[in-house]
Every structure is written in structure tokens, then in C-alpha cells.
Amino acid sequence: FRVQDDITPYTGMSVQASIDGIAIDAPLIGAPDADGYRTLTLHGAPNRSGQVVVTLTATDPGGLVSQRSFTVDVAPQADAPVVTRALAQGNGFGSGSIALDIQAALVDQDGSETLEIRISNIPDGVSLNKGTNLGGGIWSLTPADLAGLALLGPASWNQDLALTVTAISRETATGQTAQTTRALSVAMNVAPNDIVVVDRNCHVSILHAITMTGAIPVFLPPTRNHLGIIGPIPLSEFKPESIQKR
């Protein structure tokens, strides 16, 4: 753009830019070139959208002021949310549930987005105490559902869980989405009547632990060399048919 009057040189004019809105950072105005043209640079503010009024104010050496305003529309764009925590606070369903500590939030700052949290890979027989079951092992949650969230399952459950937490931001006006995922692993303790394969020469503390959990040990004999030194357990001992025989 160019600012001029009939008397003052281009370089003698003072030009400033101001904004009314939150979607643009402070504008920058360059010095005039040989023909008096200046460059106005506008940068969108991170995680914001909306309408911004930009006002250019020119002042000559005598103090006369002239202004011109125009409007800039910053289109909304979904911003990837953050998942800061995804932890299981337990290793078994002995009490019927395992508490989940999941924290997710929007980075959007103009209030144009909503947040949904999904937990996937939940197997049959396990559920959540909050949220909506979408089927296929996927549950949908609101931010309010995260407080007091827990997995529910039978006390006999002994399979580790490899869950995925996905936070999804959605622009209200356009429906555009962005997402962030984080793994949530739940390592399960040995449950009563579980079959546990163990080295026949294991430390006695391991045997005590198996006894305390109520698991059923299956002892696998290790190899021994000509000096009587105990070696590894042959791979053949780990075959299902070998374990069943014992």
C-alpha cells in the first residue's frame, strides 16, 4: 500500500497499524520503497480464528491524521490436542476395576473446538465405567468422563492390555478434526489357577510368589553340561504339547 499527500515525501509520513481481534499477532509495516509503497505483514495467532479489524493510521509532520480500516477473516483450523498422561493404576481386577489416569486437553484458544477422547483395543469381557461403547473395542469419552475413569473386568482376567488413547479436537463450524494418540499398557498380575511355566531350578522366592497368587506351576527342566553346570531350558520344552504333558 502507499501513503502520500501533496507535500510530504513518502519517508516523512508516520504509518502505524493496529488490530481489533485475537486471531492475528501484532502487524508489521515495512519502510516505503522508492515509489512509496509499504508492505503490511500479518501473521495468524496460534490456535485462534475469527474476524479481525486492521486499522492503518497515517500522520504527517503537521499532525494531520488519516485512517483506513479493513477486515481479515482467519478461517478456523483444527489444532491437534495434547494427551499429557495415560496410565493404569493397577495390575489386576481383584477389586473389580483398575483406575485409569488420563489427561487430555485442547490447545485451541478461541473456544471454537470441542474435545472427544477415545480408548480403543478394549477386549470383550472388559469395559469402562463411563463413556459410550462405540463397538469394536472402542469407547468414546468426554473430558468430564476422565475423572474417576476405570476399567472393569473379572477377577480371573490375566491377559495384558495394549490400549490406545486418542484425543480428537473438532472445529464446531467446519467439522474439521485433528488428533493425538498415546499408548496405554496394562500389565496384569498372575491370577488364581493360571498356568505358570517356570525353571525347575528357579529361586525359592519365585515359588513363594506363585504359591501366594494361587497359580499352578509347570516346572521345565534345564540342560546340564558335562561339568554339571545348569544351562538354558530347551525350546522344545515350551511347546504346548510338552507343557500339557507335565
- Whether the CB-CB separation of 119 and 91 falls below 8 Å is answered with no
- Whether the CB-CB separation of 130 and 117 falls below 8 Å is answered with no
Identify the pLDDT of residue 221: 87
Distances (CA, A) of 238 to 64, 68, 122, 207, 217: 92, 82, 29, 19, 13
Give dist(CA 217, CA 53) in Å, integer: 75
Residues 6+ apart with CB under 8 A from 178: 78, 79, 80, 81, 168, 169
Give dist(CA 127, CA 95) in Å, integer: 14
Amino acid letter, residue 151: L
Q: How many residues does this entry show for the chain? A: 246
Positive or negative CA dihedral for 29, 31, 33, 35? positive
Give dist(CA 86, CA 81) in Å, integer: 14
User: Per residue in 105-119, pLDDT tens?
Assistant: 999 888 899 999 999
User: Per residue in 120-176, pLDDT tens?
Assistant: 999 999 999 999 999 999 999 999 999 999 999 998 888 899 999 999 999 998 999
In the three-class reduction of DSSP (H, G, I as helix; E, B as strand; rest coil), residue 195 is classed as strand
Give dist(CA 234, CA 246) in Å, integer: 15
User: Per residue in 57-100, pLDDT tens?
Assistant: 999 988 999 999 999 998 888 999 999 999 999 888 888 999 99
pTM over 0.85, yes/no: no
In the three-class reduction of DSSP (H, G, I as helix; E, B as strand; rest coil), residue 221 is classed as coil
User: Per residue in 188-244, pLDDT tens?
Assistant: 877 777 888 888 888 889 889 888 878 888 898 888 877 777 888 888 888 888 878
